[in-house]
Amino acid sequence: MYAKPVMAALCVCLAVPMAADARQGSGQLTVVAPDKSAISYEKWTDRTASRLSRSIRQATSLYRDGASIGYSRVQFRLGEQGRPENISLAGSSASRSVDRISMRAIRSMGSLYPLPQEVRPGSKFEAWVIVANDATDRDNMLSSLRAQHFAQAAADRPILLAARK
């Protein structure tokens, strides 16, 4: 059976900016509207997940062998130009092919700009890449990844990239 690459992750819940913010003080009411070019956190995570999924498919065509299944955790920081930097395996797979697919996919994502208000250059991210034969294998690997993630201290947890199926 052909193993399929799947990028799976959880998303840290962050507040999405409001349409307008009203402040009152000293008898004055000030209304501050967000920048029209600003992107919402939800739209940004959807776009980023799509970009990562494309990168995974491309990397899979280069490094895929029929026996490769497994998962890896890749961490990186967002550079000043919006590109992933300091890319490293936070959790290696038993398969070198899966590790190569994972690292290449992150390296080839390109710039993640424009960023939502909640994400700043220098932010730490983690992407989970799963290569599985079927949904059962994928779900089992995803459960293992979740357990590892929540075992980390809350302050050390990176922002996880989210994927929509």
Task: Find the CATH number of the domain harbouring 100.
Answer: 3.30.1150
Q: Of the ranges 31-35, 45-49, 84-88, which one carries the lowest mean pLDDT score?
A: 31-35
20 belongs to a structural domain: no
Confidence check: pLDDT of 14 > 50: no
> Does residue 7 surpass a pLDDT of 60?
no
Give me the number of domains the chain comprises: 1
Residue range 9-13: mean pLDDT, rounded: 33
How distant, in Å, are the alpha carbons of 76, 81, 83, 149 from that of 135? 27, 36, 31, 21
Q: By residue range, what is the domain housing residue 103? A: 4-12+39-160
Within a domain: 30:
no
Give which of 10, 44, 68 is closest to 117, Cα–Cα.
Answer: 44
Instruction: Note the pTM of the prediction, 2 decimals.
Output: 0.70
Which residues make Cβ contacts (< 8 Å) with residue 49, sequence separation at least 6?
Answer: 7, 9, 161, 162, 163, 164
Residue 34 pLDDT grade (very low, low, confident, very high; cuts 50, 70, 90): low
Q: Which among 67, 75, 76 has a CA at the least distance from the CA of 98?
A: 67
Q: What is the chain's mean pLDDT, rounded? A: 78
Q: Which comes out higher in pLDDT, residue 12 or 20?
A: 20
Residue 23 lies in a domain: no
**pLDDT reading at 48 higher than 90:** yes
Residue 96 in any domain: the answer is yes
pLDDT in tens, 98-152: 999 999 999 999 999 999 999 999 999 999 998 888 899 999 999 988 888 788 7
> Looking at the domain assignment, is residue 34 inside a domain?
no
E-strand ranges in 3-161 read 4-7, 21-25, 28-32, 70-78, 84-91, 124-132, 159-160
Residue 148 included in any domain: yes
Distance CA 159, CA 125 (A): 5
